[in-house]
Amino acid sequence: MNKIIVQDKILFPKVLWQRPVHFYKARAGKIFVLAGSKGMSGAAILTCEAVFRGGTGILTLGFPVGLKNIYKEILPEAMTLELPETPSISIAKKAEPIILENIKGCDVAIIGPGLSQNAETIQLIWQLIFAIEKPVVLDADGINALAKGIEVIRSKESLEFLENYFHKRQNKLILTPHPGEMFKIINSAKFDELKNKKIDVQEIEKNKPKYAILIAKKLNATVILKGYETVISDPEGRVVMNKPGGPELATAGSGDVLSGIIGSFVGQNPTNHFEAICTAVYLHGLSGTIAKEKIGERSVIASDIIRNLPEAIKRAENEN
Question: Which range is least confidently modeled, 58-67, 115-124, 194-203, 212-221?
Answer: 194-203
Domain ranges of the chain: 4-318
Asked if 63 and 35 count as a contact pair (C-beta separation under 8 A), the reply is yes
Question: Which range is least confidently modeled, 8-22, 53-67, 170-184, 262-276?
Answer: 8-22
Check residue 100 and give its pLDDT. Answer: 98
Check residue 44 and give its pLDDT. Answer: 96
Whole-prediction pTM:
0.97
Residue environment code for 102-116, b if the CB has 16+ CB neighbours within 10 A, otherwise e = bbeebbbbbbbbbbb
Residue 124's alpha-carbon distances to 86, 91, 94, 148, 268, in angstroms, are: 11, 8, 8, 12, 27
Right CATH number for 4-318 from 3.30.470.20, 1.20.210.10, 3.40.50.1860, 3.40.1190.20? Answer: 3.40.1190.20
For residues 36-45, average pLDDT: 96
Residue 185 confidence class, pLDDT cut points 50, 70, 90: very high
Phi and psi torsions of 241, nearest 5°: -110, 120
pLDDT value at 78 more than 90:
no
Check residue 1 and give its pLDDT. Answer: 61
Check residue 76 and give its pLDDT. Answer: 79
CA angle 301, 135, 143 (to 5 degrees): 50
pLDDT in tens, 255-294: 999 999 999 999 999 999 999 999 999 999 999 999 999 9
Rounded CA-CA distance 69/60 in Å is 16
pLDDT value at 73 more than 80:
no
pLDDT in tens, 196-227: 888 999 999 999 999 999 999 999 999 999 99
Amino acid at 65: V
